Each structure stands twice: as structure tokens, then as C-alpha cells.
Amino acid sequence: MALHRIQPQPQSQSARPKLIIEGVSKRFFSKRATVEALENVSLTVLEGEFVCLLGPSGCGKSTLLDIMAGLTKPESGQVLADGQRVTGPGQQRLVMFPGSSMSAPTSLKTAGSFGKMPASTGIEHGIGSGAVL
């Protein structure tokens, strides 16, 4: 999976890392094959940045998001959210799956009925297996 920044905006000196992905690798094994889903992926998302992961089916987007959410453990590397190592699911991260009642609120009233949402890591994934906010 290749990660590229498109037209980065100048960041203020006070912007701090919200999410740090360092050297994350993940392989899946079966009787027939070994699939290298991610190899040495690194990315830093600063507070206030908006990031989209785009790529063809099978390139590792959902695997990376599962690792960021703490649902899957990487073989190597680490993920830090707000300076804390992600070792499993946590209350500060929200995962939404397609078809959930929260995936597409139809009105402001509906959206507001969810109440206060957990603090966000600033990552959203709305295509594929789930969403991380």
C-alpha cells in the first residue's frame, strides 16, 4: 500500500500529532498462500487534518483501519493515538460498519439524537468494512 499526501496544507507550529503509525506490517496466512497486506507503513496525522485512504480492493485500507482501531494487531510496528499506544479497542475510538443506524443520518435531528460522540482520532473510513472516527 502506498500512502501519498495530496496538496498538503501548511501546518501551524502548534499542531500536534493526533495519530502516528510507525512501520506497521501485517500478513495473513492460509494453507494456500501468504498475503502481505501491509509492509512498513508509516503515517502521521496532525490535529485538525482530514485524511482519506484510497486504493483498489485488497490493497490494505481496511486492514490498516482495523489496526488503527485496535481490532487487529500488527506483526510489526505500532500505532499511537493521542500519544498512547493502541493495543486494543478503546472508548476514544469509534468503529462504524456499513448499514449501521449511524452511517447516514437523514436529518440534523437524527444526527443530534446520538448525543456526544467519543473524542476522535480524526480518521474516517466510510467505504469497505467499517469506519474509524
Model pLDDT for residues 22-74, shown as the tens digit of each residue: 999 999 999 999 999 999 999 999 988 888 888 898 899 999 999 999 999 99
- Span 108-131, average pLDDT: 45
Could you tell me the CA-to-CA distances from 76 to 20, 36, 99, 130 in Å, in that order? 14, 12, 32, 23
| CB 49, CB 122: distance < 8 Å | yes
Which percentage of the chain shows pLDDT scores above 90?
Answer: 46
pTM: 0.66
pLDDT for res 11: 58
